[in-house]
């Protein structure tokens, strides 16, 4: 998930390009990206509530 987020946001690669690099399908990269974003949102909510 970290690699996907890094390549997507810092290197500005598309999900397809990331999939080609990692060797996964674009749809799997999309799933990993969504999971990572949801996880980050949850952590941010926890921090903001404190």
Is the predicted pLDDT of residue 50 greater than 80, yes or no?
A: no
The band of 24, judged by pLDDT with boundaries at 50, 70 and 90, is: very high
CA-CA-CA-CA dihedral for 9, 11, 3, 30, to nearest 10: 60
The band of 20, judged by pLDDT with boundaries at 50, 70 and 90, is: very high
Spans of all domains in the chain? 2-49
pLDDT of amino acid 49 = 83
pLDDT of amino acid 41 = 95
The tokens describing 35, both together, are 């999971």
Radius of gyration of the chain from its Cα atoms, rounded to whole angstroms: 12
The band of 6, judged by pLDDT with boundaries at 50, 70 and 90, is: very high
């Amino acid at each position: 998930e970290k690699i996907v987020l890094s390549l997507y946001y810092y290197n500005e690669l598309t999900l397809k390009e990331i999939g080609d690099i990692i060797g996964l399908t674009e749809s799997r990269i999309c799933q990993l990206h969504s999971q990572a974003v949801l996880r980050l949102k949850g952590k941010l909510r926890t921090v903001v509530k404190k």
